[in-house]
Structure 1
């Protein structure tokens, strides 16, 4: 399975965000070809997509590669008839999708978190229940959490002094950036609570994948991989907790590889900005995919970070690809 940020997937002659941001016919063909080439080369059975504007076009493209099942729960916003914003997420699968739903916000919990009753996900989350071989029903969640872009921009008076303009921009950067962090962390918290409650009701396995717009390690999203109950010495309760915990697929892959090789593995970045790089794209898994868990069915036997288009691009091939690496994993049935 894979998580794939498509980066402004919008068929011409429509524009993304601004009236002049339109792919030419040649650019669009190159983008479509790059996606198809990836699908043919890696052949993931389930893919979570982000930054989808042209839903019908994507559904048709993946159908040509064997993905007969497709899920989406929202539509992008269209302004001025042809300018699009607010792209959505989608899921394509070679296995049957038996149910599709967006993830609702628990308003009561949102208020307890100090949010307003009107709080919502910046992008609606897809929950698609897929019927997997050997395992049965699995709830697959596709997310694109709020970006780090500041939630608001400074309103500058042209008559303001140079120092005044700098101060206003600095305040907007700090406060607006923190507002985005609050949104992103709250989205992750509300989603995690929904996933736990859903797991308790159905017992379905869980997969969470997408562009998190944040490394897992820092405090904003670290709770997504909480693995134990704090200040609790009851082993039975701690064991039960493992049924509801999510694991980073990279950690599971590393753990499995350590059993067969002494080679030190290095995780590749999935996004580059200037001189910095970070891991923003993740696949998180429930205990059915953890070989150390009693309820295990599958092992993570490969982890592929497709990033040549980022670190060694060929314009002829990669010119209209994506600004993220495509992360995919291989799950092997335990014997």
Structure 2
């Protein structure tokens, strides 16, 4: 009897992983010793519980500290492709957290995702485009499965950059400024998120087509996958008994192809805002991960949501933990 092999892929937004004495965004935004010990114990315990083969992280201000933590948990392979920035006046204040990936499986290659020049030109963004957080593109060769490309992402947040400077720095309470921020500013945030997703999507499909590589896009998408900014990412090509070349690429929302989806009334929230649950974190998977697809490489796919630390009634962030659930998929091959 052939013994099945299971592999688990996870994603977790750590919420401001900045080890003291470093602060995040403002000098007073830092952890005291007790808070930091609680946070690292929480993260360590949750990762041990998940027991991932590969995990991606968001909101990482101190990659070196996270790398050591992961190494102690058996995730020996660790990578980031960018570095947070320091405040020019207060050196301990950090901005621009990065994404990271840790794995028990050796990487073949990890590199920053380079946007397609041709795609940016097509989208009229050749000169000014820059990711809010640079995605990681990481490749693996997995025994019994084959080539795999993982994209670790953290798309543009729903936070609006103030338009005050356009109006000559008016009073922040100016009703006209509030109206503009709620309309034009919100739309700009959606456009930025959609553009980032378009670049990742294009590269993922191009890699599938050219490298015949299975694909996972994992991370904090900062919007529901059905939102206008992101819904194109799971548009499906027709599935035939004899898949055509047009069926050779594409992405599925992993919960929708999981064996255990019917155990839930609906997909569990990964984040709460004013008591309302939202799904912001996703693992998108190529056809090789769909147990019912003709080209599947897996026997089963199980979806997991780790949210016991979230309190739907809490309005403010508890920095000792995280404001996001961790999510994972486990496959058997």
Could you state the TM-score of these two structures normalised by the residue count of structure 1? 0.88
Q: Which has the higher contact order (CA 8 A, sep 6+)?
A: 2
State whether residues 243 and 286 of structure 1, in contact with CA within 8 Å, keep that contact through their aligned partners in structure 2.
Answer: no
2:127 maps to 117
User: Structure 1 264/180 Cα, relative in aligned 2: closer, same or farther at 3 Å?
Assistant: closer
1:147 maps to 157
C-alpha separation in 1, matches of 2:172 and 2:86 = 38
1:191 maps to 200
State whether residues 79 and 100 of structure 2, in contact with CA within 8 Å, keep that contact through their aligned partners in structure 1.
Answer: yes
1:25 maps to 33
Picking from 113, 133, 156, the partner of 1:103 is 113
Q: Is 1:56 aligned to residue 64 of structure 2?
A: yes
C-alpha separation in 1, matches of 2:200 and 2:172 = 44
1:130 maps to 140
Single out whichever of 139-148 and 285-294 deviates more from structure 2.
285-294
Residue 137 of structure 1, CA deviation: 2.1
2:284 maps to 284
C-alpha separation in 1, matches of 2:235 and 2:307 = 29
Q: Is 1:250 aligned to residue 255 of structure 2?
A: yes
Q: Give 3-state SS (helix, strand or coil) of 2:157's partner.
A: coil
Q: Give 3-state SS (helix, strand or coil) of 1:310's partner.
A: coil
Matches within 5 A, 1:166-185: 166-185=175-194
Structure richer in helix, relative to its length: 1
Picking from 12, 20, 23, the partner of 2:20 is 12
Residue 34 of structure 1, CA deviation: 0.5
User: Structure 1 48/300 Cα, relative in aligned 2: closer, same or farther at 3 Å?
Assistant: farther
Task: Mark the runs of 5 or more structure 2 residues left unpaired by the alignment.
Answer: 1-8
State whether residues 139 and 206 of structure 1, in contact with CA within 8 Å, keep that contact through their aligned partners in structure 2.
Answer: yes
User: Structure 1 250/299 Cα, relative in aligned 2: closer, same or farther at 3 Å?
Assistant: farther
- What RMSD over aligned residues (CA atoms) do the two structures have, in Å? 2.5
Deviations 1:207-241 (A, max 9, x none): 11000001001211011111127xxxx96997433
1:241 maps to 246
Residue 170 of structure 1, CA deviation: 1.2
User: Structure 1 203/168 Cα, relative in aligned 2: closer, same or farther at 3 Å?
Assistant: same
State whether residues 103 and 124 of structure 1, in contact with CA within 8 Å, keep that contact through their aligned partners in structure 2.
Answer: yes
Single out whichever of 292-301 and 282-291 deviates more from structure 2.
292-301
Task: Mark the runs of 5 or more structure 1 residues left unpaired by the alignment.
Answer: none
State whether residues 228 and 238 of structure 1, in contact with CA within 8 Å, keep that contact through their aligned partners in structure 2.
Answer: no
1:218 maps to 227
Q: Give 3-state SS (helix, strand or coil) of 1:36's partner.
A: helix
Q: Give 3-state SS (helix, strand or coil) of 1:298's partner.
A: coil
Residue 191 of structure 1, CA deviation: 1.2
Residue 160 of structure 1, CA deviation: 6.5
Q: Give 3-state SS (helix, strand or coil) of 1:187's partner.
A: helix
Residue 303 of structure 1, CA deviation: 1.4
2:268 maps to 268
State whether residues 98 and 130 of structure 1, in contact with CA within 8 Å, keep that contact through their aligned partners in structure 2.
Answer: yes
1:323 maps to 323
How many pairs are equivalent? 319
